[in-house]
Structure 1
Amino acid sequence: MTPVETRTALAEHTTLRLGGPARRFVVAETTEDLLSAVHAAEDRVLLLGGGSNLVVGDDGFDGTVVKIATRGWRVDGETVEVAAGQNWDEFVAAMVEAGLGGLECLSGIPGSVGATPIQNVGAYGCEVADLLTSVECYDRRTGETGTMSATDLGFAYRTSVLKGTDAGIVLSVRFALRGDGLSAPVRYAELARTLGVELGARVPAADARQAVLTLRRGKGMVLDAADHDTWSAGSFFTNPIVPEAELAPVLARIAEAVDTPVPQYPADGGVKLSAAWLIERAGFRKGHEGPGGRVTLSTKHTLALTNRGDASTADLLALAAEVRDGVRAKFGVTLHPEPLLINCSL
């Protein structure tokens, strides 16, 4: 475990490159160090992985930030257990290279493995919940370490029972992969077109990974320090899910405002609408500027809010509020942020 630092700028540890200082900051490279750091903290604790799903306020965090830097994995046939602090895309790349398929559509996603079950990370028709079998988790309330199954985690769209609480600390994650070197069935139309296959087809996992990386780069969703469009938290808003009972009036209001139908997808408890479509039809185009041009919607993807180099968290939240309020005013649909907001609010 590294020595405890004070007043460490959290902007140096988030993909948005935003966030004020942490009162105390420690890096834990082993599970034992991680638990020791949590036990030793006498104040609030913030667990930090890759920093890709966090918006930290300009005042920082008045407590102890523990950066989880555990690494590595163990393969047993088609089952793999991986440390929570392991870089996610490095892990996915290694599994594809080893001929284990299933995770390839989640290529290029920034952050660490331990964060993926918390928000049920998903992209291009695949979710972590599709392949995760269990997590090893430390319960801060009981002081015990135990296994939580996929069912225990209560997965839903971009969430789980672990989201929004620091009571459970993910130590490792187990996945059941495919040993034939082929991808999961292709479920996403854009990806199928890129690969030149029909929906439901399976292709070499390496081919699917490269296609996903190409698509993500085109949207500014693969980290690149030289590209400000990637200085983001990924998709800032989740696609709204409208309950079936409320769908008809919502669609009627949208139809009154625009002459093209909003894309719709099946979802648990209702119908999922495209947040990007709503944002664009509410008048917010790619590159739309927030305060002083210090933040903008990505020039490649309207769902990403980006730091153009000298922004503050307040700037980012002002832009987010403008977009949220504009969509609500035009369509009566409220968008909700996907990243966790730490010492700030929208």
Structure 2
Amino acid sequence: MPTTTVPLADLTTLRLGGPARRLVRAADRDAIVDAVREADASGEPLLVLGGGSNLVVPDDGFDGTVVRLESRGHAVTRDDEGALLEVEAGEDWDTLVAASVSEGLGGLECLSGIPGCAGATPVQNVGAYGVEVSDLLVDATVLDRATGEVALVPAADLGLGYRTSRIKGRDREIVLAARFRLTTDGLSAPVRYAELARTLDVEPGVRVPAADARDAVLGLRRGKGMVLDETDHDTWSAGSFFTNPVVGNDVADEVARRVAALDQRPVTAWPTDDGRVKLSAAALIERAGVPRGHPGPDAPVRVSTRHTLALTNRGGGTTSQLLALARDVRDRVETAFGVRLVPEPVLVGGAAL
């Protein structure tokens, strides 16, 4: 049933943002479709909300209908190729990952601890510790608001890229469910991420028990304040606020020159498949003179004390203060290195950098 003037801060991991004019809680696919169609027919603005973990809501809220995805559940079909896991869009993502590991399935374990709902993972092409959703996604069940039709869209047609898809940043399509291809031998995906390999004490490329990989990833994420904890303000964030910039080799060389001129440690860089270079946004932020905890212990919104990519609400902040801090960090990096960081969360309505 719809409710009115609901504080959206209570529904986001940043715990920031003003109220929605109307909130509809949709418990299954049909309810989601009906709620969206009703809002569209009325011509009012629509915001589809999952776990609220990748969302920045303005202080004056959202003057329209918010449809909250509360569809739950998953099903596993085993076949000669392994297992096909289908999940409803409103299912908590880490609950799904934990269930997949406990059921002897491999593939999702490196995506443990990521907050939010399963339906958001194809939109963002969520990734961590060497694994991306695009590695495992088979297809998604999608509602097209323009036509009102529900269709099964192959992963290859979703435009999946680094933390993006054809759905992200557009209002036309809504994910209702997703299917992933997983293994059934109880082993993880090959460990590709160097930090994770060191933690597990294995060589890159080795597969380990999925439960071991999950435990290691959760440990690493907790150490960076990236696992939600009601009592820990370092976790009151939208996760990584900026994406790692992908630049040409000439830009990467210039960044390296400027970093060396500042007598700073090199910025971590990874080659991409298209011949460019991905730079560590966290390292750029640190080398630009933004420390953990910036701008100071009394600030109501500040950089996490454990990870410079997370901007955190210390309990009394506002979205305006968050965006001002984001601009400060972005501008310092651009001034120092000529690289402009791009926000990863969705900025709703009047929330803008």
Length-normalised TM-score, structure 2: 0.95
Spell out, residue by residue over 1:31-71, the C-alpha distance to the aligned partner (whole angstroms, 9 max, x if none).
11111111111201100000000000001111100001000
**Structure 1 residue 231, shift from structure 2 partner:** 0.2
Asked if structure 1 preserves the Cα contact closer than 8 Å seen for 2:6 and 2:22, the reply is yes
Q: In structure 2, what is the equivalent of residue 57 of structure 1? A: 58
Name the stretch that deviates more: 257-266 or 131-140: 257-266
Q: In structure 2, what is the equivalent of residue 345 of structure 1? A: 352
**Aligned pairs, how many?**
344
**Structure 1 residue 243, shift from structure 2 partner:** 2.1
Q: In structure 2, what is the equivalent of residue 29 of structure 1? A: 27
Structure 2 unaligned regions, length at least 5: none
**Structure 1 residue 154, shift from structure 2 partner:** 1.2
Q: In structure 2, what is the equivalent of residue 75 of structure 1? A: 76
Length-normalised TM-score, structure 1: 0.97
Matched, 1:4 2:2: yes
Question: For the residues of structure 1 that align with 2:297 and 2:17, how far apart are their CA atoms?
Answer: 17
Matched, 1:108 2:113: yes
Q: In structure 1, what is the equivalent of residue 303 of structure 2? A: 297
1:1-346 paired onto structure 2 within 5 Å: 3-41=1-39, 42=42, 43-77=44-78, 78-269=83-274, 270-289=276-295, 293-343=299-349, 344-346=351-353
Spell out, residue by residue over 1:272-331, the C-alpha distance to the aligned partner (whole angstroms, 9 max, x if none).
001111111111111112795101111111110000001000111111111111111111
Spell out, residue by residue over 1:84-106, the C-alpha distance to the aligned partner (whole angstroms, 9 max, x if none).
00000000000000000000000
Partner amino acid, structure 2, of 1:283: G
Question: For the residues of structure 1 that align with 2:301 and 2:253, how far apart are their CA atoms?
Answer: 35
Question: For the residues of structure 2 that align with 1:245 and 1:148, how far apart are their CA atoms?
Answer: 38
Question: For the residues of structure 2 that align with 1:151 and 1:284, how far apart are their CA atoms?
Answer: 39
Name the stretch that deviates more: 220-229 or 251-260: 251-260
Asked if structure 2 preserves the Cα contact closer than 8 Å seen for 1:99 and 1:179, the reply is yes
Spell out, residue by residue over 1:223-265, the C-alpha distance to the aligned partner (whole angstroms, 9 max, x if none).
0000000000001011111023543334333333344321111
Asked if structure 2 preserves the Cα contact closer than 8 Å seen for 1:294 and 1:309, the reply is yes
Asked if structure 2 preserves the Cα contact closer than 8 Å seen for 1:290 and 1:315, the reply is no
Asked if structure 1 preserves the Cα contact closer than 8 Å seen for 2:264 and 2:287, the reply is no
Name the stretch that deviates more: 267-276 or 226-235: 267-276
Question: For the residues of structure 2 that align with 1:145 and 1:84, how far apart are their CA atoms?
Answer: 14
Spell out, residue by residue over 1:193-221, the C-alpha distance to the aligned partner (whole angstroms, 9 max, x if none).
11111111100000000000011111111
Residues 1:183 and 1:325: Cα distance change in structure 2 (over 3 Å): same
Name the stretch that deviates more: 190-199 or 290-299: 290-299
Asked if structure 2 preserves the Cα contact closer than 8 Å seen for 1:240 and 1:335, the reply is yes
Query: Secondary structure of 1:170's match?
Result: strand
**Quick one: percent identity of the two aligned structures?**
61
Name the stretch that deviates more: 241-250 or 48-57: 241-250
Partner amino acid, structure 1, of 2:59: D
Partner amino acid, structure 1, of 2:61: G
